[in-house]
Structure 1
Amino acid sequence: MAKFEIFLPAMGEGIIEATITKLLKKEGDSVEEEDSIMEIATDKVDSEIPAPASGIIAKILFEEGDVPKVGDLIAIITSEGESIEDTPTTTSEEATQIEEKDINISLAKEPEVSNEPMKAKTENGNFISPLVRTIAKAENISNEELNTIIGSGEAKRITKKDILHYIEDRKVAIPKPIVPEQKMTTPQTSAPAEHVSYTGQNVEIIEMDRMRKLISQHMTNSLQISAHVTSFIDVDVTPIVQWRDKVKDNFVKKHNQKLTYTPIFVEAVCKAIQDYPLINVSVDGDKIIRKNFVNIGMATALPNGNLIVPVIKDANEKNLIGLTKSVNDLANRGRTNQLKPDDIQGSTFTITNLGAFGSTTGTPIINQPEVAILAVGAIKKKPAVIETPQGDTIGIRHIMVLSLSYDHRVVDGGLGGLFLKRIAENLENFDTTQVF
């Protein structure tokens, strides 16, 4: 009998599990080779699991909302007309069994575990995965308690994180001792304002999607980890603007690529990193990890308003044509949700283009574990002083503001300022004799 076992594939460094967000096929369905079976999501990117061969979906071992680990058997395909009587009979319940060390739940006190069967859905109809049910049963959490948990998953599904947070909150929810009322002898300070729950027809409640939650957490963590400082500099990019206007049409005809400003910015950053390599580092405790490669992350806005940062690997080894191809490829695949997990990992420095939305400048948040990020503002025509052999004069120039946020734990103002100045010099001295 032809049988094809499908395992959750490795999806990049540091990714050990994925959430099954949607089952696209069910048991008994026919599939063709490369048909998508299910959609999965990690903390990096969404992707799909394809069928390795044509046949029948004989077994799906996990449900929507489950979190299998890399290497877990997730589905079985057999030839049409065959059965899987001799295949493993692992159920989704068994496949998601959790060791105490994995969920930090201590059973040393030997609590009385309820014999009440755990339901697969709450009273509100929200799905409860086998993983969550296993944790709830081990912690003696009743079905009634599960009904009170507001899930953060898709369609308010209760996730592993939700149940673990509930357990922690339950452990610390110890009644406060009653203290006899005493007369205050010192001035009272105002109590912090309570959170207001907004309801009614004059407001709209929008649930954050999974990516927005990850962005929120990533940005908040960065502010807590790094000591942010931001420096600014004006750059006269008039020669670049004039050069691009002159060569962009021929560039498209010859290379079938649209020439934007982004690859020019990337090239200038790579050259500056070569001169100031201590910008291209990360921090591990009290150690500085210097990278001998340059991978540039480019923040890209998605159609739904979220942000993703695809990475140009070994950007310092590419010429302007190679950078243009990489920038366009990653941007296009990012906008069409076709990036692979490896495409958004391993950056050592990030560039974000605030000018694409009309902003002249901003204070970007460092993309951890990097120690600096460059924001490029909109290119604006402004009056500027022009130095000539005959003396200074005033002219209309294309001016852009660069802002560099850096981690003051390892990057001092001198290094940050010199690095930013070198980027500006690289742009102002851009070789406009290049012909394409």
Structure 2
Amino acid sequence: MSEFKIQMPKMGESVQEATITKWFVKEGDKVEEDDVLFEIATEKVDSEIPSPVDGIIKKILFEVDAVVPVGEVVAYIETDEDADEETATEGETKGQEKAETTDKNDSQLLQEESAGDFKGASRFYSPLVRSIAKEENISLEELEKIHGSGTNGRVQKQDLLDYIAGKTSGKAFSAPAKEAPAAPSASVPKEKPAAPKVSVSIGADDQIIEMDRVRKIIAEHMVNSVQVAPHVTSVVEADVTNLVLWRKKMKDEFQQKYNQNLTFMPVFTEAVAMALREFPMVNASVDGDKIILRSKVNVGIAVAKPDGNLIVPVIKEADQKNLIGLTSTLNDLANRARNNKLSPDEISGGTFSITNFGSFRNIIGTPIINQPQVAILATGSIEKKPAVMETPTGDAIVVRHKMFLSLSYDHRIIDGAMGGAFLRRIADILEEFDVNRKI
């Protein structure tokens, strides 16, 4: 029997600690590899942490609501392996192995020298998976290409055995493309003037509600954004009749063909991505007196969670995806966002954001910039309105589908001319949408 240390994982480069919000197991419980052990909350995301091994929970060292530094041991799992202590820790967004292993049982565990081969891994590999990989002479580069069926894409024992069987039988293996890492975020000035404290009188019948952790973080970020960047908002009204008619005509076919719900947001995202390539200054960040032009177009979409808070998953390289890819990616991110299933990488690296006021039947709004970005687009509800149109026989009043688009931008680097031109370009792309476009 041996003990396996479960450490607080590192959920992103800037995250140094996390709060344990829930335990799914108790001491004495039997767990299998990939069973969820506990849930943690960081400033960026809430995550469920799975067990890397089979065994029995021997000791839990921290209670719920404890704030634990990255790398601290939070629990011990007793395993059947006849080996020295093992340690599970995740160093990158999706987890990197930092465990040391011994050669007491070479058929089950990798030797310490071999563990070093996994330092560049993009995700966590259990000792059993590493052992099988060693025995079958599968390199880390080859292992990284295997699509895992475990939590956050982790490769499980059966995934590896299936891959080995496929190699033996000569079947072709296709790995999903590996996404390039997002550019680092620009630093935000640390020295901020303290927010003025407002004296609030409380009546006898008033109710006091304590902000939850996420709401406190959102509040801090919003105040910080307004303090850092001088906001300006421009507004245009766009005639999206062609888009509305096209979606009405194609949504059933799209659902049947791709098993995806076709909404307006993928089209808005497509238009934004096109415009950002034409206006690189809007796809930027400010770092002191330096302007950082982002090489990637990573569009964040604000999603309302069931608890009323917001989260902004990011569609990486949105300009490289077609409408089918944007729809699939957006639906997947939104569904997992509402269920706290996003990884830190999926909510970081954004270069521009969109918030949909129209989902709440609001026609217009003035959004706050999501730092360290320099602009954010708000889309209002689409409504039927009377409009004057030119016809061969003269002007006529007709019914059209219209919506307001509002852009808040950082006036330090984007002036009214550029902000207005960028917003107008998005509206033009939407207005020129081809009603006969094929999927």
TM-score (norm 2): 0.71
Q: Deviations over 1:141-187 (max 9, x none)?
A: xxxxxxxxxxxxxxxxxxxxxxxxxxxxxxxxxxxxxxxxxxxxxxx
**Cα 1:338–1:81, aligned 2, differ >3 Å: closer, same or farther?**
closer
Tell me the SS of whatever aligns to 2:67. coil
User: 1:197 deviation in Å?
Assistant: 4.7
Aligned to 1:419: 422
CA RMSD of aligned residues (A): 2.4
**Cα 1:370–1:241, aligned 2, differ >3 Å: closer, same or farther?**
same
Determine which of 240, 243, 246 is the counterpart of 2:246. 243
Aligned to 1:134: none
Distance in 1 (CA, whole Å) between partners of 2:373 and 2:209 is 32
**Do the aligned residues in 2 keep the contact of 1:4 with 1:52 (CA within 8 Å)?**
no
**Cα 1:373–1:196, aligned 2, differ >3 Å: closer, same or farther?**
closer
Tell me the SS of whatever aligns to 1:421. helix
Aligned to 1:288: 291
Aligned to 1:224: 227
Q: Deviations over 1:63-90 (max 9, x none)?
A: 3333333333322211369999999xxx
Matched, 1:212 2:209: no
Aligned to 1:57: 57
Aligned to 1:22: 22
Aligned to 1:301: 304
Q: Deviations over 1:197-250 (max 9, x none)?
A: 5254x3322221111111111111111111000000010000100111011110
**Cα 1:284–1:85, aligned 2, differ >3 Å: closer, same or farther?**
closer
Distance in 2 (CA, whole Å) between partners of 1:194 and 1:251 is 52
Determine which of 173, 198, 202 is the counterpart of 1:198. 202
**Cα 1:388–1:316, aligned 2, differ >3 Å: closer, same or farther?**
same
Determine which of 335, 338, 350 is the counterpart of 1:335. 338
**Cα 1:60–1:18, aligned 2, differ >3 Å: closer, same or farther?**
same
Q: Deviations over 1:94-151 (max 9, x none)?
A: xxxxxxxxxxxxxxxxxxxxxxxxxxxxxxxxxxxxxxxxxxxxxxxxxxxxxxxxxx
**Do the aligned residues in 2 keep the contact of 1:406 with 1:416 (CA within 8 Å)?**
yes
Aligned to 1:371: 374
Which segments of 5 or more consecutive residues in structure 2 lack a partner in the other structure?
88-195
Q: Percent identity?
A: 58
Which segments of 5 or more consecutive residues in structure 1 lack a partner in the other structure?
88-191
**Do the aligned residues in 2 keep the contact of 1:295 with 1:311 (CA within 8 Å)?**
yes
* The 10-residue stretch of structure 1 (313-322 or 205-214) with the greater mean CA deviation from structure 2: 205-214
Distance in 2 (CA, whole Å) between partners of 1:4 and 1:379 is 56
Match for 1:37: what amino acid?
L
Aligned to 1:347: 350
**Cα 1:193–1:284, aligned 2, differ >3 Å: closer, same or farther?**
closer
Aligned to 1:76: 76
Tell me the SS of whatever aligns to 1:422. helix
Q: Deviations over 1:17-50 (max 9, x none)?
A: 2112233333333323222222211001111222
Aligned to 1:317: 320
Match for 2:58: what amino acid?
A
Aligned to 1:158: none
Distance in 1 (CA, whole Å) between partners of 2:388 and 2:231 is 32
Aligned to 2:433: 430
Aligned to 2:3: 3
Matched, 1:33 2:33: yes
**Cα 1:77–1:381, aligned 2, differ >3 Å: closer, same or farther?**
same
Distance in 2 (CA, whole Å) between partners of 1:391 and 1:2 is 87
Matched, 1:402 2:405: yes
Tell me the SS of whatever aligns to 1:15. coil
Aligned pairs, number: 331
TM-score (norm 1): 0.72
